Amino acid sequence: MRLSILDQSPVSAGMDPATALANSVALAKAADALGYTRYWIAEHHAMPALASTAPEILIARIAAETVRIRVGSGAVLLPYYAPLKVAESFRMLEALSPGRIDLGLGRAPGGAGYEVMALQRRPDAGGHLGDDFPQQVAQLLAFLQGSFPQGHPYGDILVSPAGGLGPEVWMLGSSTWSADLAGRLGLPYAFAHFIDSGPTGDAVDLYRRRLASAGLGDRGRVILAMGAVCAQTEAEAQRLFATTRLFRRRIRRGDKQPLAAPDAALRELGTDTSDPFAAPGGRWPGYAVGTPAQVKAEITAVAEALGAEEVMVLTVLFDPAARLASYTLLAEAFGLR
């Protein structure tokens, strides 16, 4: 099984965002050496707890400081951008790091309230953010592949840098809506299982059915994005996980402050021992927490049940050293080196 990393560049209490971004670069370099397949950078806006607002910029830096690992977006939130500009940006990245760039596309807002309005291309145009997402994706693919129909006004536009294969395009999502679109377009699909584990099975099944009905079954690839916290003991992993549990609870309440240290998180959580990432009926947990053997067993069971060829691991912890240790233990457990 292939393992990859999804990074949101978490900002801990007392840490500035620049340090969080430097931590992401350091983690990516370690992931390259540890044998992870991909390193994807998320896009979030106006969140003090997460520093990654422009994945294409961080991709350029990380790709320049790594050698083997594929680097990409998890995801570029396409409703905010003109497809031609995204095509040019990722063609540029691919030209700088040939054969190593992934373009993950998403429809989610990545923020709330006025920041979403301020980020929109035409906030006065009416409608809802992402209403034209399928059309945007089709246009972006046409720019990247040079596949506009004859006579199309955009058909003669040069997408520079020209030449090369371009980035590998992935559809990202956390619902059956994204699975349906990915299947109809024949794109590889990454499902954000850590966001909501409830629809995972239905989404993956629908994706494969749509591929088959479109005669594109040979193009199907699935990445399962799942959270994980590894430590030498289960008790220590659960202690570290308190930061993640509190972060999820805060976000649901509109509280975007930086991450709390584990002991402070435990105090704020109080008697709340629930797992906000738990799956309905205890099936397919969104986060695997425990020793390397325990986490490996949970990740493997979920991936095999869903037929996922690759698992992309998200680890949101207060201490960057603990985060690196978690990924290191996981890589060793799976024998990535």
Which residue stretches of 122-270 are H helix?
Answer: 133-145, 176-185, 200-213, 234-252, 262-269
Phi-psi region of 46 (alpha: psi -120 to 50; beta: other; left: phi over 0): left
pLDDT of residue 218: 86
Per DSSP, the three-state class of 170 is strand
* Lookup: tokens for 322: 């603990």
Question: Which residues, in sequence order, are CB contacts of 182 under 8 Å at separation 6+?
Answer: 171, 173, 188, 189, 207, 210
Yes or no: say if 54 and 87 are a contact pair by the CB < 8 Å rule: no
How far, in Å, CA of 31 to CA of 6, rounded?
Answer: 11
Rg over CA atoms, the chain: 20
Burial class (CB in 10 A: 0-12, 13-18, 19+), 147: exposed
pLDDT of residue 34: 98
* Lookup: tokens for 193: 């299982």
Closest alpha carbon to 33 in 67, 4, 63, 62:
67
pLDDT of residue 101: 98
- The stretches in the chain having pLDDT less than 70 are 121-127, 282
The pTM (predicted TM-score) of the whole model is: 0.96
